[in-house]
Amino acid sequence: MKLLFIDDEQTFLKYLAKRLVLDGFTVKTTFSGEEGVDAASTEEFDVAVVDLQMPGIDGIEVQKRLKDLQPFLPCIVLTGHGSVENALESGKYNAFKFLSKPVDMDTLIETIKAAYAHRLEQEGRSGRPEADPSEKKEKGALSKLYDKFRGIYGVEK
């Protein structure tokens, strides 16, 4: 699953990206709303995670622009400046869910997966398209380790 993360807090964003890559996600990080919109204009993403308050264009404006570029792209709003008004405003522009920082990693991962499932439903698909056999998907480090233990102990998925 290909994720677009847009947040001006670079240290926080780099930490999240490293953790999600270990869990098998492909992550594109951008450190401003403008950068995120530029990335979405040249690449397709499955889910976007957008900070609400950033210098330049804010998260609400980013959501508007992302929706214009990729109509089915669900946005998860992640912010340290949460308010009911902001959540309601974000909901108008394709916000799938509104999460406050600091966010629990398990909650974030579950929300990303739920947003992707919702996207598939919107697009009228029940699952990911069949992968081309010549295309090899790289697994995350934790998935590889799990597979190794399954093999050693004879446990099936």
Model confidence over 86-101: pLDDT tens digits?
A: 555 555 555 888 888 8
- For residue 26, the tally of other CB atoms under 10 A from its CB is 15
User: Would you state the structure tokens that stand for residue 126, as one six-digit string?
Assistant: 């029940």
CB 45 within 8 A of CB 74: no
CA distance 112 to 125: 17
- For residue 55, the tally of other CB atoms under 10 A from its CB is 10
- Position 130 scores a pLDDT of 43
Single out the residue of 106, 105, 107, 35 nearest to residue 97, CA to CA.
107
- Parent domain of 89: 2-153
What percent of the chain clears pLDDT 70, i.e. is strictly above it? 70
Which CATH number goes with the domain that contains 106?
A: 3.40.50.2300
- Position 92 scores a pLDDT of 56
Model confidence over 37-76: pLDDT tens digits?
A: 999 999 999 999 999 888 899 888 999 999 999 999 999 9
- Position 118 scores a pLDDT of 93
Q: How many domains, the chain?
A: 1
